[in-house]
Amino acid sequence: MRTDTIAAIATVLGSGGISIVRISGEDAFLAIDRIYKSKGKTKQLSKEESHTIHYGFIMDGQEVIDEVMVTIMRAPSTYTREDVVEINCHGGIVVTRKILETVLKQGIRLAEPGEFTKRAFLNGRIDLSQAEAVCDIINAKNDIALKNSLKQLKGREYEIIKQIRDSILRDIAYIEAALDDPEHINLDGFSYELSENLEKYSQNINRLILGSKNGKLIKEGIKTVILGKPNVGKSSLLNILVREDRAIVTDIAGTTRDTLEETIRLNDISLNIIDTAGIRSTEDTVEKIGVEKAMRIAKEADLIIYVLDSSTPLDNNDETILSLIRDKKAILLLNKSDLSPRVSVKEITNKSNHPIVSTSFIEHKGIEELEQLIKEMFFTGDITFNEDIYITNDRHIEAFTNALEALNMVRDSISKDMPEDFYSIDLMTAYEELGKILGENVGEDLINMIFSEFCMGK
């Protein structure tokens, strides 16, 4: 681990009220003493009490760079468990960079992305799952994602994993002790007790794995694809939901040739909406590519909004779309309800069991009902969230899956009446897989890769 002193801008670089330049390491106080000058009585910040704020100026030689407030925090009671100094200066690109340059002149190194949090992990203040939660908090797209990441940062995932690992370790210790001292520790009947324990461990892990799909939706938003034939109102719907004219709307069928993507927030839900080319049989080469792309994206969608023109009869293109979405989560919109109907709700119901909403995008009719239906599907349907923690990280999901497989191998060994030392081997595998989530026995390359995804200054 590198132990040199680092510095970086910890706030978004741009015009604003305040910017923060953060310094961490054993030379943090030495550096600030060289460039800080108090407004009143001259003082060295290195001699001041920890967790105090001081008003003064940052100097580059005799030149005043900015009027600042400086916070000093002594190790180990800091984010990195190192000495930390934070310079609060006026927000602005030029002045903030000038202060950072002045700090770096003192022999301080520019921090790498995520290096402050990386030091917090390496110095034992947080585990790796909590460090990853910091990145998730920064990138949270909605309130639910933020709350879930905060639970992870507070150690909720760590608590669950620790409880399972502690119990597994007790099982291993008992088996090993019995094998070492069979005269005093009896394993008769232990396989039955272990089987019950395995069931509890597996249930807890399996619940987290099963909830990971919801976790992905929390973190990344619901991939929502708008499907339909040409000129049924798909682009109009996108514009209404986004509340601005993002898509070109004309009476010419086939205007949309490629996908158009927008993200909106519906209550606490993030919808990643994709408007697609109208699906129909066509000889136009460009349009055909757009249709094929629309159908491919639809297969990967979490939610499909299928827009139909209720003023025209169903045709083979509609049959193709209905077949495509048969096993998907979808909402059907009977649009152009302000015109004479040629398609009835009953007719659609006979062909699909998806919910149907009658709409008129010109009159904005049915939009509130559509939004409410999405909310209900999100909160009370298959996509349901409660106070549990939801796993959003692929690395964690893989480790949980591997741990579950190891526990299943223990269960298999018990059913085949294998020797008890076989139990210990697979139990230890499960223990180690869970430990990887917390950062135990993980390689330096993986750690560097995780923290490289962080923003500078965090």
Q: Can you tell me the distance from the alpha carbon of 124 to that of 215, in angstroms, rounded to the nearest whole number?
A: 27
How many CB atoms neighbour CB 413 within 10 A? 20
**Do 150 and 47 sit in the same domain of this protein?**
no
Record the pTM.
Answer: 0.66
**Do 372 and 414 sit in the same domain of this protein?**
no
Q: Is the pLDDT of residue 138 over 80?
A: no
CATH code where residue 369 lies: 3.40.50.300
Closest CA to 227 of 330, 371, 88: 330
CATH code where residue 46 lies: 3.30.1360.120
Identify whether 448 is part of a domain: no
Top mean-pLDDT range of 90-99, 288-297, 388-397: 90-99
**Do 179 and 232 sit in the same domain of this protein?**
no
Identify whether 35 is part of a domain: yes
**Do 328 and 425 sit in the same domain of this protein?**
no
Identify whether 455 is part of a domain: no
3-state SS, 184-248, equals: CCCCCCHHHHHHHHHHHHHHHHHHHHHCHHHHHHHHHCEEEEEEECCCCCHHHHHHHHHCCCCCC
Give yes or no for a contact between 431 and 406, defined as CB atoms under 8 angstroms apart.
Answer: no
> What angle separates helix 444-452 from helix 128-139, to the nearest 10 degrees?
20
**Do 73 and 118 sit in the same domain of this protein?**
yes
Total length of the chain: 458
pLDDT given for residue 144 in this prediction = 66
**Do 116 and 192 sit in the same domain of this protein?**
no
pLDDT given for residue 385 in this prediction = 45
**Do 112 and 142 sit in the same domain of this protein?**
no
Identify whether 403 is part of a domain: yes
Question: What residue numbers bound the domain in which 102 lies?
Answer: 6-125
User: CA–CA distance from 145 to each of 13, 93, 210, 240 (Å)?
Assistant: 25, 31, 17, 25
Predicted confidence band of residue 382 (pLDDT cuts 50, 70, 90): very low
Mean pLDDT over 257-281 rounds to: 72
Identify whether 183 is part of a domain: yes
Predicted confidence band of residue 270 (pLDDT cuts 50, 70, 90): confident
Q: Can you tell me the distance from the alpha carbon of 458 to that of 455, in angstroms, rounded to the nearest whole number?
A: 6
Identify whether 289 is part of a domain: yes
User: CA–CA distance from 318 to each of 87, 223, 361, 391 (Å)?
Assistant: 62, 22, 20, 38
91, 125, 159: which is the final residue of a domain?
Answer: 125
Lowest mean pLDDT among 30-39, 122-131, 247-256: 247-256
Give yes or no for a contact between 276 and 294, defined as CB atoms under 8 angstroms apart.
Answer: yes
* Max CA distance (Å), the chain: 89
Q: Is the pLDDT of residue 440 over 90?
A: no
Identify whether 445 is part of a domain: no
**Do 224 and 192 sit in the same domain of this protein?**
no
How many structural domains are present in the chain? Answer: 3
- Tens digit of pLDDT for each residue in 335-375? 888 888 888 888 888 888 899 988 888 888 888 888 888 87
**Do 255 and 347 sit in the same domain of this protein?**
yes
Q: And the tokens for 152?
A: 């992870």
**Do 46 and 108 sit in the same domain of this protein?**
yes
